[in-house]
């Protein structure tokens, strides 16, 4: 599962607005805002998966917690 911090960081790294990401994911802007909120994600697993897929399609790679903390980066070649 990705975190709200990772979603915010990914969107920022891509320099995309909430509207653009929400449209790409097929979710509403309020749903994306809930997913980006502080603390535990307040959106359904289906919505989170759609947001993740949209961000990954845009070139983001999500990095799992590996002792150094979870994160995001641009996928090589993008």
DSSP per-residue letters across 13-59: HHT--HHHHHHHHT--HHHHHHHHSSSS--S-HHHHHHHHHHHHHTT
Per-10-residue mean pLDDT, the chain, length 78: 92 97 97 86 90 97 84 84
Residue 35 has a pLDDT of 93
Dihedral (Cα; 18, 24, 27, 33), 10-degree rounding: -20
Residue 38 has a pLDDT of 74
Residue 18 has a pLDDT of 96
Kindly report the CATH number assigned to the domain that includes residue 60: 1.10.260.40
Say what the pTM is: 0.89
Residue 70 has a pLDDT of 87
Instruction: With beta carbons less than 8 A apart as the criterion, state whether 77 and 58 touch.
Output: no
Residue 65 has a pLDDT of 83
Residue 66 has a pLDDT of 77
Residue 78 has a pLDDT of 58
Domain ranges, residue 20: 4-74
Total domains in the fold of the chain = 1
């Amino acid at each position: 599962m990705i975190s709200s911090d990772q979603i915010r960081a990914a969107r920022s790294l891509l320099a995309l607005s909430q509207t653009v990401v929400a449209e790409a994911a097929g979710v509403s802007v309020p749903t994306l805002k809930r997913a980006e909120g502080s603390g535990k994600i307040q959106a359904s697993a289906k919505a989170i998966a759609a947001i993740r897929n949209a961000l990954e399609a845009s070139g983001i790679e999500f990095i799992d917690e590996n002792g150094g903390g979870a994160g995001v980066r641009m996928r090589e070649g993008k």
